[in-house]
Structure 1
């Protein structure tokens, strides 16, 4: 089956990049406020997928995102939801804590979404491509080849390089792994802006995003942290349907486990993110 790739042409001015909203309406409201403060139009705001996820307001989050008219690709969660699948497709190890927890939050999210929200989810492309500051950029969720592939800063470059070749891109904007990073080799750059729905396992409740800009016709980017009303998110997650461990993570900034992480990223748990 051919991939659904949306080419949005040439963008200019500031572009806001973020991922993993994870049904966290409070974080989404805050990132929209950042866009307004920075005077970034909705068409220049791009999500790397997983609008739906671990938190308590999947329906409200999808509808808010839809009315904002920002752009997003489909994450593995959206792909599974529109297929009517019984699991999130996150590629967690069978029987792991993440796999067990996913049975709770995915079924909760699936039960909450309206027909209109599912119709919107069905419109999301698998990838977005655009030209910016004389560079070709492709937005992926996991990788271009596998939507559920976990790619981290420590992932060897030879695993990343084929994505640039297959898409003829200079820059890849990735998601899925939940941690912000950037990795440059030669003239190619991989940026993961991080996610706004969950902390980055660094011991703070803040979440992450990136703004790129083309000042003086150069490609510039910067990682930022976002402070939002996480206490309300935490309160809403304690509804009896969602994993208590994830509600705790919203406040502590520490992941319940590091099952998906490579050794390097696992050792960095609780430490400030260095970018």
Structure 2
């Protein structure tokens, strides 16, 4: 299948980056307020996908996303929903706890999305490219080659490097893995702003996003944590239809398991995020 790549041209000024909203309406509301307080226009707000996910308000989240109107590429969840698939396409190991949980939250989300929301999801591109501070930037979900590929800070650079060659990019902005990080090598930058729908397995209820800046004529970036009404999110998730373990993670900041994590990231569970 041919990829849908949208070229945004030249962007400048503060640019807000985030991913993994995961049907967390309260986190999206809080991030929208950050963008407005920072005077960042919706055109300069970019999501790496998975607007829909683990939390309790998929329809409300998509509708607020439409109202705010930031840019977003399709995550694996959007792709699967668009195709009417029966699973989330997250590339969880079959029979794993994550796979079992997905058999609860994915059909829940699928059952609640309106035709209007599905139509919105279906038109999302696979990738964005744009120029920023004399750098060529590409936005991917997992990787260019595999929407569901988990790429972490500890992932070998060789695995990341092949993505830059596709479009001769200098910067790749990515999502999917759920953890914020940056990895700069050979004058290239792999930047994952993190997700706002779930904590980063760091023992904190806060979630993560990043802001690009070109104030000095050079591309600069900074990771930020986000406070939101996590108690309401937790309460709404305790509806008997969603995994209780995910509702607990919203409060504890600790993932139920580390099945998807490499040894390095798994060993950092609960120790906070060092950026």
| Structure 2 residue aligned with 1:131 | 131
TM-score normalised by the chain length of structure 1: 1.00
Question: CA-atom RMSD, angstroms?
Answer: 0.4
Distance 2:166 2:6 in 1: 16
Distance 1:16 1:216 in 2: 17
| Counterpart check, 1:92 vs 2:103 | no
Distance 2:245 2:157 in 1: 33
| Structure 2 residue aligned with 1:181 | 181
Distance 2:191 2:42 in 1: 20
| Structure 1 residue aligned with 2:162 | 162
Shift of 1:216: 1.9
Shift of 1:163: 0.3
Name the SS for the 1:217 alignment partner: coil
Matched pairs, number = 275
Structure 2's unaligned 5+ residue stretches are: none
- Once the two structures are superposed, residues 106-156 of structure 1 have per-residue CA deviations (whole angstroms, 9 ceiling, x without a partner) of 000000000000000011000011000000000000000000000000000
| Structure 2 residue aligned with 1:71 | 71
Shift of 1:67: 1.1
Structure 1's unaligned 5+ residue stretches are: none
TM-score normalised by the chain length of structure 2: 1.00
| Structure 1 residue aligned with 2:233 | 233
Could you list the structure 1 runs, at least 4 aligned residues long, displaced by more than 2 angstroms after superposition.
none
Distance 1:230 1:216 in 2: 36
Superposed, 1:1-275 pairs within 5 Å as 1-275=1-275
Shift of 1:206: 0.3
Name the SS for the 2:117 alignment partner: helix
Shift of 1:168: 1.1
